[in-house]
């Protein structure tokens, strides 16, 4: 038989409290609790447990489900590459140094090369980038080089890059064909330059130097004459 609870004004002989008894206890020792589903308070009333020590409310611990979802969402977001790290295909290459830049131009041969100078913090560069990726997919014969301005400041300075995003067009022995700044609104400039410089042609001679940079040091070494 369950223990009985005695008080100056109440006597209980059962482990289960009636609704009226619980209300009386709450009114005498605790603030009144609105019934579940009332308009004044949407929170559920605490559950009362009866034991030999008395009546004690039980408040369930909050669930950690939402915190777990936030953690998984954060991990999934960090796994995604940044916008400037995405490439449209094998004809879009990231350049991290001056030797890489000169080597890519030297190995391009007669292919048209479009160089984009960008900044990770540049909003105009980010807005234009998806359009550039689509153009690279439409022209697999063109080589697109991406140069991070902050990682290659000395080289960008020697190439007179002062505004971002900035574009250079190169082709074989003709060297630099054209250079200009372009935003998403003026993207037609890039399309017009491609139509102008991407015609079939045959260059004569090795690729020329680029500004103050020299391609000769990255050309294939010649066999030394016999002694």
Distance, in Å, from the CA atom of 217 to the CA atom of 106, rounded to the nearest integer, reads: 10
Distance, in Å, from the CA atom of 155 to the CA atom of 95, rounded to the nearest integer, reads: 11
Residue 200 pairs with which residues in a beta bridge? none
Q: Is 171 helix (H, G, I), strand (E, B) or coil?
A: strand
H helices of 51-97, in order, are 65-79
The span from the first CA to the last CA of the chain, in angstroms, equals 114
Beta pairing, strands 112-118 & 143-148: parallel
Distance, in Å, from the CA atom of 108 to the CA atom of 63, rounded to the nearest integer, reads: 59
Residues whose CB is less than 8 angstroms from the CB of residue 39 and which lie 6 or more positions away in sequence, other chains included: none
Tell me the HSE value of 182 on the side-chain side, using a 13 A CA sphere.
23
Catalytic residues: 122, 125
Distance, in Å, from the CA atom of 47 to the CA atom of 72, rounded to the nearest integer, reads: 33
**What region does 95 belong to: left with phi over 0, alpha with psi -120 to 50, or beta?**
beta
Tokens of 220: 């294939």
């Amino acid at each position: 038989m369950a223990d009985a609870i005695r008080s100056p004004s109440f006597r209980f002989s059962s482990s289960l409290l009636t609704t009226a008894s619980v209300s009386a206890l709450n009114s005498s020792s605790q603030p009144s609790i609105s019934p579940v589903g009332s308009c004044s308070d949407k929170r559920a009333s605490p559950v009362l447990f009866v034991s030999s020590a008395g009546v004690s409310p039980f408040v369930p611990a909050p669930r950690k489900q939402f915190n777990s979802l936030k953690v998984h969402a954060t991990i999934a977001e960090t796994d995604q590459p940044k916008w400037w790290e995405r490439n449209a295909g094998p004809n879009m290459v990231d350049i991290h140094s001056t030797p890489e830049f000169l080597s890519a131009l030297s190995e391009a041969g007669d292919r048209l090369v479009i160089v984009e100078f960008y900044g990770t913090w540049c909003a105009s560069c980010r807005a234009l980038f998806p359009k550039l990726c689509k153009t690279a997919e439409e022209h697999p014969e063109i080589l697109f080089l991406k140069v991070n301005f902050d990682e290659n400041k000395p080289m960008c300075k020697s190439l007179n890059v002062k505004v971002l995003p900035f574009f250079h067009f190169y082709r074989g022995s003709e060297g630099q064909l054209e250079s200009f700044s372009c935003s998403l609104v003026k993207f037609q400039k890039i399309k017009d330059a491609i139509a102008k410089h991407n015609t079939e042609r045959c260059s004569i001679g090795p690729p020329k130097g680029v500004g103050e940079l020299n391609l000769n040091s990255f050309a294939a070494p010649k066999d030394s004459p016999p002694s």
